[in-house]
Structure 1
């Protein structure tokens, strides 16, 4: 059976900007050590896998998701220590929540399109969601050392009046956890123009602090702040479960654009099971944090590593002479890492490496040493 030719007229029905895009590419990892996507390297024990399998096997998958979602929301609020008066929104990963936030705020203001603002380099989904949902994206460069340029952020917020300002805390791909007073200055600037701040804490299990403490300490000052997290870095990347915590009045409005039944009963029950074993995942995060500084020290000692940045996440960013060549050579040696050079000019010849187990890190270091 031959594949029919798609007429040019039919293709023209697809948005021109979409046709000009590249789809998100996932590297083939068959038979390779996967150190490119910041996944938790630890699997459940055989006993816990069996328990989870039995729970999932007993679910009524012929029914739509129901009240167990409310159980999960309560567990997530308790786990995060949500401030009083908060509500929780669930997403199919934090990616879907970013889309929902863009959908909910994509209204023109004074004859112009709504705007989304974020410091860059940052998470690629921010500008992508703005583009697809009809917002203008405003990028404010970080400093050369990937610190926040607070005066530039304040000026851009005052001039552009963004509906949403994203602060990744810690940032991806730089792994930076910016100083609290600098972040608060931006939060205050957004309050002056009546916008929303989304604090993206995808890598919170590996960071030394969370913005939720500021939300609880000064609720009035942070009443326009929404906290976004994911269970992907917690250890459930395959379950695709993100969540948003914020003042109930705001969260309930955003919930109106959420597709019905967006979280499957399988994802929901897996997340509940994981939160019931929260201490196990806390131990795994602690083990990853313990391996982070030794990895950074070993990387800094390698000839050919030109610069390495501090990390408060489960990734490390470094610069080499030729990131493309180093990535290709590492892949030949069985190790996948991420070349982030094309993401932003400030990331020229930078590689992003996942922090894994001691054995994984040793294998990655050996491959990098041979590849430089």
Structure 2
């Protein structure tokens, strides 16, 4: 037996690392990033702020100032706090670690196909992941979700809203039905990574539901490079998750940049407004092309279906355009591609090259 076989868990040995393709030289529309850089005047001001950061010191572990700015600008209810993470990925891991009880089996449940980290965090924490398929039109199967909750009694239910990778926005009634079904069973997490483009949120409804947690990230807003996520729930629940959070998990450069961004949130909100407008224009243009099915989206991406998706994807790669081929993620996504909505200029380049590739 080799050293790796001796010390590494068998299920980990069978896993593959998260794939991130080389995007150098490509029109990059595969990762739901905001295409707009920080305006030049703010770049200079941020540079001055970062120059004063004490890189030789650990962060103040309470992150008091940053949390206060998030509460002020991101609609956190009065009396509620936030826990910060190195991206929402870390928050998802924290939740799994805190809920993976050793005295009884614990499960995480989510509609599928869904964000890969829900299932991955469950596996790493030693929990069972239960996936409930969406309907054929990629909308939520509420009856199946409620039946699965009754049968499986999960510790955690994830609802990415808008959903990833489909862009679907679940209705308030659907979410409330699931929250109520989970009363005295477990936690419902509204993962609102794409909230800036949906203009819908359950953040202000946290006081209504003791078993609701709302999670967000600043990545899609335009700060993917600083890796910052935050989540809010009733204080006593949040305090338990904070025990699992590694100390100093948000670095001082991220902290300073995020504080600066909160003070200029109007800039990012205006960028989101442009992306929302471009999403509708891009969807309409794609619908006009022959053989393209465009699914409704309230995120900053569009999911489409076409017969020869694999071939079109490869042609786009040869034309230096990188989108996401999601057809292998789940049977419901057969022949589907996911396209990040970008700037007007980049969207035009994409449409020109995409139109040529489907001929």
Question: What is the CA–CA distance in structure 2 between the aligned matches of 1:67 and 1:269, rounded to whole Å?
Answer: 14
- 1:214 corresponds, among 205, 210, 220, to 205
Q: Which runs of 5+ in 2 are unaligned?
A: none
Partner of residue 143, structure 2: 151
Using the TM superposition, give the Cα deviation of residue 290 of structure 1 relative to its aligned residue in structure 2, in angstroms.
Answer: 0.8
| Bigger shift: residues 343-352 or 204-213 | 204-213
Whole-angstrom CA distance in 2 between matches of 1:117 and 1:256: 23
Q: 1:132 aligns with which of 124, 138, 145?
A: 124
Q: 2:356 aligned with 1:370, yes or no? A: yes
**1:189 aligns to 2:181 (yes or no):** yes
Contact 2:61 2:247 in 1 (8 A): no
Question: Secondary structure in 2 aligned to 1:343?
Answer: coil
Distance 2:71 2:64 in 1: 11
Rounded Cα–Cα distance in structure 1 between residues aligned with 2:149 and 2:79: 27
Aligned-pair CA distance for 1:108: 4.2
- Counterpart-to-counterpart distance in 1, 2:29 and 2:345: 12
Q: Secondary structure at the match of 1:98?
A: helix
Which residue in the other structure is 2:332 paired with?
Answer: 346
**Cα distance in 1 for residues equivalent to 2:32 and 2:143:** 31
Task: State the alpha-carbon separation in 1 of the partners of residues 291 and 19 from structure 2.
Answer: 28
> Pairwise CA RMSD of aligned residues?
1.3
- Residues 256-304 of structure 1, C-alpha deviation per residue, up to 9 Å, x if partnerless? 0111100000000000011111110010000100111110010011123
Q: Deviations over 1:308-365 (max 9, x none)?
A: 1111000000001122211111111111000001111100010000001111111111
Q: Is the 8 A contact 1:340 1:351 kept in 2?
A: yes
Instruction: Choose from 156, 161, 168 the match for 2:160.
Output: 168
TM-score by length of 2: 0.97
Moved more, 327-336 or 81-90: 81-90
How far apart are the structure 2 equivalents of 1:177 and 1:169? 6
Asked whether the equivalents of residues 339 and 352 of structure 1 are also in contact (C-alpha less than 8 Å), the reply is: yes
Q: Which deviates the most, 76-85 or 342-351?
A: 76-85
Aligned to 1:294, the other structure's residue is in SS state: helix
1:49 aligns with 2:77: no
* Contact 2:83 2:238 (C-alpha < 8 Å) held by counterparts: yes
Q: What does residue range 251-262 of structure 1 map to in structure 2 within 5 Å?
A: 251-262=238-249
1:356 and 2:348 are equivalent in the alignment: no
Aligned partner of 2:273 in structure 1 is 286
Corresponding residue of 1:38: 32
Aligned-residue offset at 1:10:
3.4
Any residues of structure 2 matched to 1:1-372 within 5 Å, and which?
8-66=2-60, 69-108=63-102, 111=104, 113-191=105-183, 193-215=184-206, 219-220=207-208, 222-305=209-292, 307-372=293-358
TM-score w.r.t. the length of structure 1 is 0.94
Aligned length: 358
Contact 1:87 1:252 (C-alpha < 8 Å) held by counterparts: no
Distance 2:238 2:204 in 1: 19
1:179-237 C-alpha deviation (Å, 9 max, x unpaired):
1111111111011x42001110000000031112333xxx24x1110100000011100
